[in-house]
Amino acid sequence: MSERLNSKLEKLAEDDPKRAELQAQYQPAVWLEDAARRVGQIQAVTHSLKPIHPDAKGSSLYREPSALPPLDEMGSHALGDAFDADVVGNAAALDVYKFLKLMHQGQSLLSLATQGDADLGAALSEDTAQAAGWMAAFAGLSEARGRLSSHTLAKQLYWPVGDDPHDDAGYHLLAPLYPTSLVQRVYQTLQDDRFGEEAKAAREARKAGHWHARPVREYPHLAIQKLGGTKPQNISQLNSERRGDNLLLASLPPVWRSAEVRPVLGTVSLFKVFRHRPEARRLTQLLRRFLEGDPASNLATRTQRDEWVEALLEELMLFTAEQQTLEPGWTAEPRCELPASHRAWLDPEGVATADPVPDLMDALAQDFANWLNHELRDPLPMGDPEYLHWRKQARELFTAMEREGVL
């Protein structure tokens, strides 16, 4: 109250008669009495109607996300107990909500008022009846105003609940509301990913070719819908804080780029082709940059390293599966210079009648370990310990896939 009073007094001359009037208005008892009256002009909500149409006059709702039914789909229920409530109604009464948002010992004044906290009542007024009345008025902030209703300008849709689409009685009429608390979380997350200091540092590290603990997240084709025009506060408090920005993620179908699968010909190792795959190149670079940073020798480092190696092995399995879609026997072509183990790995049906390769999985695990050491050796000191670790990790993954029937 003192801050708001001082900000108003600063705009007035010392001899302005309005100063005394303002000082009287901001006496605690006077301001609280007025706030308890004006709180009825606003409503705390998690789902609002105004963003659907600014002139819609129906109901908005307040529902604790943790009390909503859990669903597999993304929705407000995923917010749990950590969420920002919004406020709709008379923008001139938003100062009351700012007052009720003040925190005391981990709880907002609104929460304390809802609980009928005795200490809050004593702080508000020495008159217990007056304090109880004020707290009851403040606690009503999250209650819907009047009867629940929709409006002709609100969106409505018929949702089928029966088996016969021709039966008019087999539908519920739904009036969807704008999930303002969920929208706020999405906005906060995207703003942090786009403009946060850690996000900026991560992008700088990527640009310089260095590893960074924070992943870089991009949101291509992001659209911004403005709600409320030049007066975003007329929509809601959170909309005003976002300056009316409503972020729309691009819901576009992926563009399928299917490259022709070509047999591995004219080379003495499948890894000479595998290393040029975009995902294999990306993962190898990530692993090299991570190890170049001389990370601490601890569990977190070993876990991150092994995750990237496992991703490389999974990419190798994808490459193998693509090669196995070719007509069996392609490795018999004169242009195929692959060793017997690589032929048996990529073309198992085509070489089924040839001499079997003893312990094929171990042979490929050795070749993978040698290849990865070679990829990392400049400038990292790769030797036998690293080779044995890559070989063991590859052999374990191949064995697991054999048990699952993939190999």
The pLDDT value recorded for residue 353 is 55
DSSP state of 354: S
Residues pairing with 87 in the sheet: 44
For residue 218, report the phi and psi dihedrals to the nearest 5 degrees. -115, 150
The pLDDT value recorded for residue 153 is 92
**Rounded-to-10 torsion of CA 105, 108, 109, 115:** -90
Residue 255 CB neighbours (<10 A): 5
Could you report the per-residue pLDDT of 325-360, keeping only the tens digit for each? 999 999 999 999 999 999 999 998 887 655 677 889
The pLDDT value recorded for residue 1 is 63
How far is residue 215's CA from residue 191's CA, in Å, rounded to a whole number?
Answer: 15
Amino acid at 247: L
Residues pairing with 225 in the sheet: 246
Amino acid at 174: L
How far is residue 400's CA from residue 395's CA, in Å, rounded to a whole number?
Answer: 9
The pLDDT value recorded for residue 233 is 87
Question: Residues in the chain, how many?
Answer: 407
Contact 376, 286 (CB under 8 A): no
The pLDDT value recorded for residue 384 is 92
The pLDDT value recorded for residue 331 is 92
Give the start-end residues of each E strand in 237-378. Answer: 245-248
Could you report the per-residue pLDDT of 139-183, keeping only the tens digit for each? 888 877 778 888 999 999 999 999 999 999 999 999 999 999 999
Residue 169 CB neighbours (<10 A): 7
- Tens-binned pLDDT, residue by residue, of the chain (407 aa): 666 665 666 666 776 667 666 666 767 788 888 888 888 888 889 999 999 998 998 889 988 888 899 999 999 999 988 888 899 888 788 888 888 888 888 878 888 888 888 888 888 888 888 888 888 888 888 877 778 888 999 999 999 999 999 999 999 999 999 999 999 999 999 999 999 999 999 999 888 888 888 999 999 889 999 998 888 988 998 999 999 999 999 888 877 666 788 999 999 999 999 999 999 999 999 999 999 988 999 999 999 999 999 999 999 999 999 999 999 999 999 999 999 999 999 998 887 655 677 889 999 999 999 999 999 988 788 899 999 999 999 999 999 888 877 66
Burial class (CB in 10 A: 0-12, 13-18, 19+), 214: middle
The pLDDT value recorded for residue 4 is 65
